[in-house]
């Protein structure tokens, strides 16, 4: 199993540009989570899906952030327009929906907005 | 992906010593807890978990203790090795399903030879 796959690994973009981060969860996992990690705020849950349906997006910081999960094997996190304060490492994680399973995290995308 | 150089509390230990990393969790209704390890350049990795109906669980070289009275969780690492150097996070699952995990701030463990 290749694990949770995120792309790109690194993204540098100019303020105002649209950024799209991608995630492929582990096959068979039907819960998917997007986290953001920053120096100031640590690991923050942005949004999570169960069976491709967004369950809780209360962690999404602003309307500039949006996430989709069109099918069980793919999710995107989009920032439009991007701002320097969005610079962070963004992690995707997946798991089974029942309790007693920890998440499997991807390697993350380091986003730098200049 | 990388850990982001968080300004975290740091625990420094000598190789071969035992390490104890502590965590205070926030929600008395949380029913499941996990410890994660994050090495530089990687995402968090599952180490060990414990359910709220237990107060101790052991793995290979690691033990998690749960004190629900004071909402405290600890991770004990026996015979700490240089490869244990990382940032360690505790996470709690809020009761109610969907495995929503809330992470603590993390502790950096530095193992010295």
For the segment B22-32, what is each residue's pLDDT rounded down to a tens digit?
999 988 889 89
Average pLDDT estimate for B40-45? 92
Degrees to nearest 5, angle at CA B8 with A32 and B23: 70
Instruction: Give the pLDDT score at A102.
Output: 77
Instruction: Give the pLDDT score at A103.
Output: 86
Instruction: Give the pLDDT score at B26.
Output: 85
Instruction: Give the pLDDT score at A72.
Output: 94
Confidence of residue B96 (pLDDT cuts 50, 70, 90): low
Q: Which of B85, B107, B104, B103 is nearest to B39 (CA)?
A: B85
Instruction: Give the pLDDT score at B98.
Output: 67
Residues of chain A with pLDDT under 70: 1, 97-101
Interface list for B 39-78 with A (CB within 8 A): 41-46, 49, 51
A86 and A113 Cβ atoms separated by less than 8 Å: yes
Distances (CA, A) of A92 to A3, B5, B101: 11, 19, 13
Instruction: Give the pLDDT score at A88.
Output: 97
Query: Distance between CA atoms of A75 and B68, rounded to whole angstroms?
Result: 36
Whether the CB of B103 is below 8 Å from some CB of chain A: the reply is: yes
Contacts of B31 in chain A (CB under 8 A): 99
């Amino acid at each position: 199993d290749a694990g949770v796959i995120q792309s790109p690994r690194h993204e540098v973009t100019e303020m105002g540009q649209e950024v799209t981060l991608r995630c492929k969860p582990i096959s068979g996992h039907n819960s998917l989570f997007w986290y953001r990690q920053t120096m100031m705020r640590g690991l923050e849950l942005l949004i999570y899906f169960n069976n491709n349906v967004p369950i809780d997006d209360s962690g999404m910081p602003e309307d500039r952030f949006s996430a989709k999960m069109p099918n069980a094997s793919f999710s995107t996190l989009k920032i439009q327009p991007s701002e320097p304060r969005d610079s962070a490492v963004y992690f995707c994680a997946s798991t089974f929906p029942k309790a007693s399973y920890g998440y499997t995290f991807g390697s993350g995308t380091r986003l730098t907005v200049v | 992906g990388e850990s982001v150089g968080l300004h975290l509390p740091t625990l420094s230990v000598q190789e071969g010593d035992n390490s104890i990393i502590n965590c205070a969790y926030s929600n008395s209704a949380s029913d499941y807890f996990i410890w994660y390890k994050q090495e530089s350049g990687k995402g968090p990795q599952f180490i060990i978990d414990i359910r709220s109906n237990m107060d101790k669980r052991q793995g290979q070289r690691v033990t998690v203790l749960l004190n629900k009275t004071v909402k405290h969780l600890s991770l004990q690492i026996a015979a700490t090795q240089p490869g244990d150097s990382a940032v360690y996070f505790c996470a709690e699952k809020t009761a109610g399903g969907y495995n929503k995990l809330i992470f603590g701030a993390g502790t950096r463990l530095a193992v010295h030879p």
